[in-house]
């Protein structure tokens, strides 16, 4: 399936809305640190799923940090969903989609929308290699892929600190977990632990997963990472159980692979239908290279085709 657009301008997050002839509308929060990366991808999805793209701006780093981005995405989503009939959209066929940081923000937006019962319900969520938690960086995927190009350990820590507005000097405390209170880890370990990761994704050479010795000063300086608004994996079971069906994409060579696996487990435990697509030769961010010849990879188009097939099948 070919999707190659000549258009070049983009604003993030991106909202894909179906035309009056389409059966499905896709609201896509493609929040990322790379500018102008998503236009061709969203144009492709719009074309192949018979959708129309609406691009919405949001406040950006370095002047704005969390929660500005998530609030902007939520406010834009509410405004947009109130006017679905204006675009000739069937309110029962709204799909939301997000990649990387956008996937995590999208998850918080879906959860927040439960506070607005008058809005149409989301039909499905499509999360591509999402950031679902900023707490356990000792998961197998982080240990196995911490030096993989495009998203190394250092890039993750730098991006996290900038996004949450934490001094970079605390990055080691976050990575090693010394900022996590013992009672917090005891409470949420059931959702954050590698015990929930299938055996085939683990290796015998992994380091211990338990957080390092608790540092109260580090906790006070970094405690915002423990907020469920930043780590949507921590949301209560009663909310998880109400979430729409999900299409989850994970990549083998991705430090964030296990975030997807943990979220998959949480959804399935609460009876939410999940379609999981794992890309053995994939890496974080590869989807945006789908049309960037000669830098495109087979895994890029695999993900694009899988997302299109899923949306068209709803």
* Residue positions annotated with a catalytic role: 100, 254, 284
**What tokens does 62 get?**
């370095």
Nearest to 67 by CA among 9, 112, 36: 112
Nearest 5 degrees, angle CA 285-CA 287-CA 288?
80
Nearest to 115 by CA among 255, 242, 3: 242
> What is the three-class DSSP state of 162?
helix
Nearest to 98 by CA among 310, 307, 282: 307
> What are the CA-CA distances from residue 59 to residues 108, 161, 262 (Å)?
17, 17, 29
Nearest to 155 by CA among 278, 31, 256: 256
Cα–Cα distance for residue pair 58/63, rounded to 1 Å: 12
Cα–Cα distance for residue pair 29/98, rounded to 1 Å: 5
**Residue 113 near residue 80 (C-beta atoms within 8 A):** no
**What tokens does 285 get?**
């961010």
């Amino acid at each position: 399936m070919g999707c190659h657009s000549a258009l070049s301008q983009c604003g993030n997050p991106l909202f894909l809305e179906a035309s009056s002839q389409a059966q499905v509308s896709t609201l896509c929060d493609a929040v990322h640190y790379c500018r102008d990366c998503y236009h061709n991808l969203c144009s492709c999805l719009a074309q192949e799923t018979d959708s129309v793209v609406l691009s919405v701006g949001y406040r950006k780093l370095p002047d704005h940090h969390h929660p500005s981005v998530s609030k902007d995405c939520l406010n834009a989503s509410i405004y947009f969903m109130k006017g679905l009939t204006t675009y000739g959209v069937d309110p029962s066929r709204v799909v939301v989609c997000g990649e990387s940081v956008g996937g995590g923000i999208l998850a918080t937006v879906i959860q927040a929308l439960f506070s607005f019962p008058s809005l149409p319900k989301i039909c499905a969520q499509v999360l591509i290699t999402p950031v679902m938690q900023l707490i356990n960086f000792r998961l197998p995927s982080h240990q196995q892929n911490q030096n993989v190009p495009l998203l190394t350990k250092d890039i993750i820590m730098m991006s996290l600190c900038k996004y949450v507005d934490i001094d970079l000097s605390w990055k080691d405390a976050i990575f090693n977990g010394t900022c996590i209170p013992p009672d917090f880890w005891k409470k949420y370990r059931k959702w954050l632990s590698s015990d929930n990761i299938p055996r085939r994704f683990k290796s015998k050479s992994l380091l211990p997963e338990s957080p390092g010795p608790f540092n109260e000063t580090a906790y006070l300086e970094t405690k915002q990472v423990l907020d469920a608004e930043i780590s949507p994996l921590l949301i209560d079971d009663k909310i998880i159980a109400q979430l729409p069906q999900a299409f989850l994409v994970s990549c083998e060579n991705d430090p964030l692979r296990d975030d997807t696996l943990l979220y998959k487990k949480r959804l399935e435990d609460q009876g939410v239908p999940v379609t999981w697509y794992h890309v053995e030769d994939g890496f974080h961010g590869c989807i945006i290279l789908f049309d960037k010849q000669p830098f495109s990879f087979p895994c890029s188009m695999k993900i694009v085709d899988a997302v299109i097939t899923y949306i068209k099948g709803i």
